[in-house]
């Protein structure tokens, strides 16, 4: 990605990824949602989401970081800071 994406673009991209990986409708993927408690995403699906997000946003999301990304908003912030 040539230009740094906006938070809205990151959220929309994550929503598409979550829909593909976990079958959660993209509309449901909003910033305040918890991956585990609200979207019912398990630890292995989080890895798949991270791998796809890395490709899409040209960012590194180490496994050790995944536990800190509790909400969709946390992930948007992380990608925004590190992309």
Residues taking part in catalysis: 42
Q: Does 58 help bind another protein (rule: CB under 8 A)?
A: no
- Beta-carbon neighbour count of residue 51 at 10 Å? 13
DSSP 56: H
User: Which CB sits closer to another protein, 2 or 62?
Assistant: 62
- Beta-carbon neighbour count of residue 6 at 10 Å? 11
Q: Does 51 help bind another protein (rule: CB under 8 A)?
A: yes
Q: Does 66 help bind another protein (rule: CB under 8 A)?
A: yes
Q: Which of 48, 58, 70, 80 binds another protein (CB under 8 A)?
A: 48
């Amino acid at each position: 990605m040539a230009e740094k994406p906006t938070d809205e673009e990151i959220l929309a991209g994550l929503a598409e990824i979550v829909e593909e990986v976990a079958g959660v409708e993209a509309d449901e993927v909003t910033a305040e949602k918890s991956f585990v408690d609200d979207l019912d995403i398990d630890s292995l699906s989080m890895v798949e989401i991270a791998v796809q997000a890395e490709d899409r946003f040209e960012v590194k999301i180490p496994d050790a970081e995944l536990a800190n990304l509790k909400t969709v908003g946390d992930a948007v912030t992380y990608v925004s800071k590190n992309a």
